[in-house]
């Protein structure tokens, strides 16, 4: 729930694909349910729906790919420069399919969030993203799956969870039907998790995040 006494937290959103999580964050801001401002959207994919959404909503949009730079260092420095120029307070990975460079993770320690379409630590890690997650869940015969918002550390999908929600797996689910049921939950929990940061209620103790009462 939006708190009138706090400054909107400044978000940089990284996204590679269609951008439905970005859109849900935008909608929650517009509906005054989230005390946040999206200051920049960055994508490694020039054709991503996320960049289009940013442009349509008059948010700064940058296509930044490692391929545009001669060295890894100049690529990372450019990303950092863009983030700093916008006074980024929290980095939001919303379907971002590239690994975030370690220097950025260290610069924004405990201030980078990711959403993963499963209940971590199950069905996470390298190669488990998007539809591959749901295929693996169904192949295993799981009865529940879900979504996890977590703090990003140096590895894939291993940082401390902030928010998790279960979703039932139905007998006749396909990867697509399960993905759609989970995506609905993603759109609900990601803005809620971001609001916890906007309200300054999240502290990290080792692997554990503690959410303070409002």
Examine residue 129 and tell whether it contacts ligand GAR (CB under 6 A). Answer: yes
- The span from the CA of 84 to the CA of 93, in Å, is 17
Going by C-alpha positions, the residue among 142, 137, 141, 99 that lies closest to residue 117 is 137
Is 150 labeled as catalytic in the residue annotation?
no
Q: Measured between alpha carbons, how far is 35 from 126 in angstroms, rounded to an integer? A: 32
Rule CB under 6 A: is residue 186 a binding residue for ligand GAR?
Answer: yes
* Binding characters for ligand GAR, 144-173, by CB under 6 A (x = yes): ------------------------------
> Closest Cα partner for 39 from 96, 107, 100, 92?
92
Closest approach of Cβ 176 to ligand GAR, in Å?
12
Least distance to ligand GAR, CB of residue 94, Å: 5
How many chain residues interact with ligand GAR (CB under 6 A)?
A: 16
Least CB distance to ligand GAR at residue 23 (A) = 8
Q: Which stretch binds ligand GAR (CB under 6 A): 10-18, 104-112, 135-143, 196-204?
A: 10-18
- Measured between alpha carbons, how far is 174 from 207 in angstroms, rounded to an integer? 33
Among 8, 125, 130, 175, binds ligand GAR (CB under 6 A): 130
Among 115, 151, 185, 189, which residue sits at the site for ligand GAR (rule: CB under 6 A)? 115
92 to 25, 113, 122, 124, 165: CA distances (angstroms): 10, 5, 21, 18, 18
From the list 63, 78, 110, 116, the catalytic residue is 116
- Chain position whose Cβ is nearest to ligand GAR: 95
At closest approach, how far in Å is the CB of 9 from ligand GAR?
19
- Residues designated catalytic: 116
Query: Where on the chain is the footprint of ligand GAR (CB under 6 A)?
Result: 15, 17-21, 94-95, 115-117, 129-130, 133, 183, 186
């Amino acid at each position: 729930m939006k708190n009138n006494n706090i400054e909107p937290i400044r978000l940089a959103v990284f996204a590679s694909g269609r951008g439905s999580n970005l859109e849900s964050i935008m909608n929650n801001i517009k509906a005054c349910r989230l005390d946040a401002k999206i200051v920049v959207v960055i994508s490694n994919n020039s054709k991503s729906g996320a960049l289009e959404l940013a442009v349509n909503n008059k948010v700064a949009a940058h296509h930044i790919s490692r391929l545009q730079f001669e060295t890894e260092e100049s690529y990372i420095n450019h990303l950092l420069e863009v983030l700093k120029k916008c006074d980024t307070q929290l980095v939001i990975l919303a379907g971002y399919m590239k690994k975030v460079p370690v220097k950025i993770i260290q610069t924004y320690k405990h201030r980078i969030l990711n959403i993963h379409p499963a209940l971590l630590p199950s069905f996470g890690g390298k190669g488990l993203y998007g539809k591959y997650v749901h295929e693996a869940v169904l192949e295993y015969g799981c009865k529940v799956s879900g979504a996890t918002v977590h703090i990003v550390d140096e590895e894939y999908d291993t940082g401390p969870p902030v928010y998790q929600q279960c979703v039932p797996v139905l007998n006749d689910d396909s990867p697509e039907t399960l993905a759609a049921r989970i995506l609905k939950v993603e759109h609900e929990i990601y803005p809620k998790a971001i609001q916890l940061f906007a309200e300054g209620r999240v502290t990290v103790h080792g692997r554990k995040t503690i959410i303070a009462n409002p």
